[in-house]
Structure 1
């Protein structure tokens, strides 16, 4: 399975949950997570998508730490099951 397959699945599942999953690019800030997921009731999460078994790069991890240090929720997902687990937990 490819990263883009997981990303497509995430977008569809988020939409079905009443949310949106914006693609995030931030010029001059390499390594930011792939998506900003906004779910109902003011639930905002940053999601880094990876192909199965792959891990974030050191630069990506540094960006994740910056966001987490400011109280943001950052998820790394590498499977469709991971998307389902994210949505289950993010909705509670």
Structure 2
């Protein structure tokens, strides 16, 4: 399975769960996660950052640094390399 197939499935699943899954491109901030998942929860929104990889793929060193920066700020960051993880990631972001 290709990374883009996993990414498409993620976008579709987040949309089906009532959220937005936006492609994140941040000039000048290399290594940022591929996608931002946003969910509304009444007046309180939820956000998660997702790095999409092909099955068995690993994040590069700079990506791991960026993930740590985001986690240190209190954000949830995930590495997705398997379709089976998508529901769990959505559940964690939504706080269900």
The verdict on a shared fold, with TM-score over 0.5 as the criterion, is yes
| C-alpha separation in 2, matches of 1:74 and 1:58 | 15
**Superposed displacement of residue 35, structure 1:** 0.4
Q: State the Cα deviation string for residues 44-72 of structure 1 (Å, max 9, x = none).
A: 00000000001100000000011111111
| C-alpha separation in 2, matches of 1:28 and 1:89 | 29
Unaligned runs of 5+ in 1: none
TM-score, normalization: structure 1?
A: 0.95
The residue aligned with 2:52 is: 49
TM-score, normalization: structure 2?
A: 0.91
**Superposed displacement of residue 39, structure 1:** 1.4
Unaligned runs of 5+ in 2: none
Count of matched residue positions in the alignment of Structure 1 and Structure 2: 92
The residue aligned with 2:31 is: 31
**Superposed displacement of residue 15, structure 1:** 0.4
Q: State the Cα deviation string for residues 1-43 of structure 1 (Å, max 9, x = none).
A: 0110000000000000000001001001110000010012111
